[in-house]
Amino acid sequence: MAADPVTTTAPAPGAEYADTASAAYRAALQVIESVEPRIAAATRKELADQRDSLKLIASENYASPATLLTMGTWLSDKYAEGTIGHRFYAGCQNVDTVESVAAEHARELFGSPYAYAQPHSGIDANLVAFWAILATRIEAPELAAQGAKHVNDLSEADWEKLRNKLGNQRLLGMSLDAGGHLTHGFRPNISGKMFHQRSYGTDPETGLLDYDALAAAAREFKPLIIVGGYSAYPRRINFAKMREIADEVGATLMVDMAHFAGLVAGKVFTGDEDPVPHAHVTTTTTHKSLRGPRGGLVLATEEYAPAVDKGCPMVLGGPLSHVMAAKAVALAEARQPAFQTYAQRVADNAKALADGFLKRGARLVTGGTDNHIVLLDVTSFGLTGRQAESALLDSGVVTNRNSIPADPNGAWYTSGIRFGTPALTTRGFGAADFDRVAELVVDVLTNTSPEGTSKAKYKLADGTAQRVHAAAAELLEANPLYPGLTL
């Protein structure tokens, strides 16, 4: 059978593919080692650590060797500020090719009329989107009213007036404890300093998004932008309804699909649950469930495309051409039929994990999941999220603590643990494996107790960490990471 370049396992790459990747990585590490051996050692150790732990962080995954190798090239050495065919530096013809291919794959994969591949991260993608919306909705009409083509054509008085308008717009986003993200207008983040922000939440009884309450908040607040999307909401969203709400109040609908982009690309989310046909602007990271390099994308309608295309130098510095090349490779992988199979397994495995928790008496926010996220309320174990996270890490289970709705412990200690299935699904884990993972997690949490009144200190019963480590090792050995890859 020919090697499958999309998956790292299931089906595993053939011997020829694994041997080629092994030779490439060994050679690269030898070159690095000749200059700074500590970096080579840390890189080798990172692979060993990832192979030996149950990675359940919802925002992490394992990129293919092809994607990873693409980042380590001389494309890194080229400045290319501007955009395709319109650079501020000479000699960018190869970068134009790279960016064009990445944008082409993104457009075709997501069915978007326009794609921008330059953002370095999810926050950069959101900043580009925010400023593109401001430029389209506020700046452009103001320039037209003044008979100006560029902001430099404005008088100082008119420029100050425009600056005040740009800095006093309203944004409505999902609250943090309901599963929203810091970049959706919260004060510690730059987005919260840019906008007058208000949050919408979830139903206090069900934990589900309340569209009627969202509509009422939008009518009262009259935001310029409504942000959809989440980082810790374990359910799907009806983006057609969100667009109706946005249109009613004259808002731009921006959707941050960083977490679930892989489920959109893999056609698990379609119709009203696919944000791209409904949003004016859609942002995403390219890692997480999309299984690419760390970076971002912006998708947009034709109305907003010209402003998004000015992301550099409006918000971004010089694009990372080597990472754009890796995005192109990962997006090409995601266009293959095998990726749709993978995406469906991610969702199926999340349900298996949730069911595994529920049948063992654990409490889940919203009572389950229909995406890739499972959010466990650990207060029933008498723990804070921080205590649970640390005890699980001691036992070889890598997760992250997370707020839950109306969290009594706040955003630092939290009362929840967020689990995600993309990474272990990449390794080949199936439903039975995730049921076993749920059993191991409950074992750890049942045998963990708070130490005194501290929200951070805890005591793990003797033998628990060793027992769970051993059981996890059996699962990991049966589903190896980058099988055949040797350093």
H or E, element range at 426? helix 422-427
Q: How far apart are CA 370 and CA 435, in angstroms?
A: 16
Query: Among residues 288, 327, 345, 436, which one is catalytic?
Result: 288
Whether 285 sits among the annotated catalytic residues: the reply is: yes
Q: How far apart are CA 101 and CA 274, in angstroms?
A: 23
Query: Among residues 294, 327, 351, 418, which one is catalytic?
Result: 294
Query: Among residues 19, 60, 79, 446, which one is catalytic?
Result: 79
Q: How far apart are CA 13 and CA 338, in angstroms?
A: 13
Ranges of CATH 3.40.640.10 domains, the chain: 76-158+222-334
| Tens digit of each residue's pLDDT, the chain (487 residues) | 233 433 444 433 344 567 889 999 999 999 999 999 999 999 999 999 999 999 999 999 999 999 999 999 999 999 999 999 999 999 999 999 999 999 999 999 999 999 999 999 999 999 999 999 999 999 999 999 989 888 889 999 999 999 999 989 999 999 888 888 878 877 788 787 888 899 999 999 999 999 999 999 999 999 999 999 999 999 999 999 999 999 999 999 999 999 999 999 999 999 999 999 999 999 999 999 999 999 999 999 999 999 999 999 889 999 999 999 999 999 999 999 999 999 999 999 999 999 999 999 999 999 999 999 999 999 999 999 999 999 999 999 999 999 999 999 998 999 999 999 999 999 999 999 999 999 999 999 999 999 999 999 999 999 999 999 999 999 999 999 999 899 8
Q: How far apart are CA 108 and CA 99, in angstroms?
A: 14
Query: Helices 93-110 and 321-334 sit at what angle, rounded to 10 degrees?
Result: 30
Predicted TM-score of the model (pTM): 0.93
Say how many Å lie between the first and final Cα of the chain, rounded: 24
Neighbours of 342 (CB within 10 A): 24
Query: Among residues 8, 70, 283, 285, which one is catalytic?
Result: 285
Give 315-332 pLDDT, tens digit per residue. 999 999 999 999 999 999
Whether 274 sits among the annotated catalytic residues: the reply is: no
β-partners of residue 285 are 296
Whether 294 sits among the annotated catalytic residues: the reply is: yes
Query: Among residues 33, 60, 81, 104, which one is catalytic?
Result: 81
Query: Among residues 256, 309, 355, 377, which one is catalytic?
Result: 256
CB 120 within 8 A of CB 321: no
The topology under which CATH files domain 76-158+222-334 is: Aspartate Aminotransferase; domain 2 (3.40.640)
Whether 291 sits among the annotated catalytic residues: the reply is: no
Ranges of CATH 3.90.1150.10 domains, the chain: 348-478
Give 434-467 pLDDT, tens digit per residue. 999 999 999 999 999 999 999 999 999 999 999 9
In terms of C-beta distances under 8 Å and separation of at least 24 residues, what long-range contacts does 78-85 make, across chains too? 78/321, 79/318, 80/318, 80/319, 80/321, 81/312, 81/313, 81/317, 81/318, 81/319, 82/312, 82/313, 83/118, 83/309, 83/310, 83/311, 83/312
Of the options 3.40.190.10, 3.90.1150.10, 3.60.140.10, 3.40.350.10, the CATH number for the domain spanning 348-478: 3.90.1150.10
Determine the residue type at 223.
P
Q: How far apart are CA 426 and CA 4, in angstroms?
A: 13
